[in-house]
Structure formats: C-alpha cells, structure tokens
Amino acid sequence: MPYRDIGGAQLWVEDSGGDGQPVVLLHAAAGTSACWAEQRAMFETVGYRVITYDMRGFGRTRCAPEERASGSMTGDLEALVEKLELPQFSLVGTARGAWCAVEYALDDPSSLAALVVSTSYCRLVDPESVRFRAQYVDPDLLGLPTEEKELGRTYRAAHPKGVRRFLDMAQGGDSTGHLSYQSVREPLTLARVADISVPALVLAGDEDPYAPPPVMKMMADRIPDAEFKVMRHVGHSAYWEQPKEWHQLVRRFLHRHT
C-alpha cells in the first residue's frame, strides 16, 4: 500500500526498500513525485533505497481541503521519516522541495548524511537576498508559460516531446485546483542557512530564470563548506533536462558523504 498516514494527510509514497543507503527526493511545485521517474531508476540501479512522495496538496496524496496548507512541509517529512523508521539518509530537494530540505537539515541534522539543493533560491526573504535576486530575475517571470519558467531554452528547442511529457506531469501537480500550499515553519534567510551543519551540494542551472547561478552562489557561500556547481544549458528543472549529468553530480557527492 503506497499510502502512509501521517495525521491530517495520507501521503502517496514510493519506497524501493532494501538495505541500500536511503535517499529522499522532494519534488517542485510544478508537478509531483512522478517527476523523479528517471532518477528513481538510476539511483535504484546503483543500490540506493529511493523514497519519493507527493507532498500535501499534490498528486495522489489525500487530505481534507481544510488540511491542505496546515502544518509544514518539514513537519510532514519528519512524520514520514518516523513512519518509515529511516536510518540516517540523504535528502535531495529541487525548487520548492529544496525549501523543505533546507529547513529539515537545520532542524534535524543528526538524521542526515548529506543535503542537495537543486535549482532553488529557497525563497530567502531577508532584504539582502531579495535585493540581490531582483537584479537577476525578470519581474514578470510568474506570468510566463509554464514551459518557459520551468525548462531552459536549450531543452525546449531540442526536446519538444520532453517538454510535452513535462507539461503532462506538471498538470497533475496541484490536486485541488487552487494555490494554497504548505510552507516551511519559519522564513528562510541567509542567517538561517549559515547554520546548516551537514555536507551540502548546491546545484544551479545557467538558464534558470527563478534561481540564476549568482543567486544560488550567494546562498551557497553562506552554507559552511558547501559545494557549488553550475550545470550548463539547463533551466529550473535540471534533473529532468539533463538527467544523467544531474544524477552523476549528485551521486558522486552522495558517495563521498554516505
């Protein structure tokens, strides 16, 4: 049974099981855990125990409308980790999923072997971050079509079928048809991310309109000893656009720390 009751919601969870090193993958707001199909297969092939789930309010996860935005993404992840009785694991978040990953690393560092933040500025709200990001991000970004926001121009030009598959996946994301999401417990700031104490990899895409490389480097520079990498010719969904290259970067990092 793929559903896990965590109180207030039944999360749709896919867990490959086994004795491999666990890795939890957190999806973006544009889509569901289905986005990880290729990554699940690649991690499983090399021996990882792979766990993905639809966050509250997304995909096949069930919750009452009044519970959709209750609690926090971090609290749901903590409840799932307890339900699955996970040993120390690695945590990978892309876009909105990375907000949860970062706060989990701050609140539950002893549970983690490693943290990966992929193409996400983690919605840092301190004035310094907001001013800096405004220099690089189009103020009309949110009004663009989904494919232009989520996928880089190189991928869109070269992979029209992949764009259609992505849009089909993303269309299944918001299960209730309105924008009311869980968030983190406390707003994320540069001061907060400076307290991350687990090994961290920060991955940027050079065509990402949401989290351009200078914005992500600013955050990475505040995380103690974080590694920072820029992938070329990818946008906001690097794991989808260049799955093998993304997997190789993440796997090498995890291998060194797990």
Pairing of strands 3-5, 10-15: antiparallel
Whether residue 57 is predicted with pLDDT greater than 80 in this model: the reply is yes
The residue among 27, 18, 25, 52 whose CA lies nearest residue 169 is 27
The amino acid occupying position 101 is A
* Inter-residue contact 153 to 218 (CB < 8 Å): no
pTM for the full predicted model: 0.96
In percent, the amount of the chain with pLDDT more than 90 equals 92
Where does the pLDDT of residue 154 fall: very low under 50, low under 70, confident under 90, or very high at 90 and above? very high
Task: Please count the helices (runs of H) and the strands (runs of E) in the chain.
Answer: 11, 8
Q: CA–CA separation, 19 vs 59, rounded Å?
A: 28
Domains of the chain in start order, with CATH, are 3-257 (3.40.50.1820)
Pairing state of beta strands 49-53 and 112-118? unpaired
CA 135, CA 130: separation in Å to the nearest integer? Answer: 9
Chain segment 13-46, per-residue pLDDT in tens: 999 999 999 999 999 999 999 999 999 999 999 9
Residue 136 in this model has a pLDDT that exceeds 80: yes
Q: What pLDDT digit, counting tens, does each position of 197-233 carry?
A: 999 999 999 999 999 999 999 999 999 999 999 999 9
- Give the DSSP per-residue string, 93-126: EETHHHHHHHHHHHH-GGGEEEEEEES--TT--S
Is the separation of the CB atoms in 246 and 203 below 8 Å? yes
Pairing of the two strands 3-5 and 49-53: unpaired
Report the distance separating Cα 88 and Cα 146, nearest Å.
36
Instruction: Report the mean per-residue pLDDT for the chain.
Output: 95
CA-nearest of 39, 49, 53, 37 to 3 is 53
pLDDT at position 179? 58
Task: Give the C-alpha separation, 237 to 95, whole Å.
Answer: 8
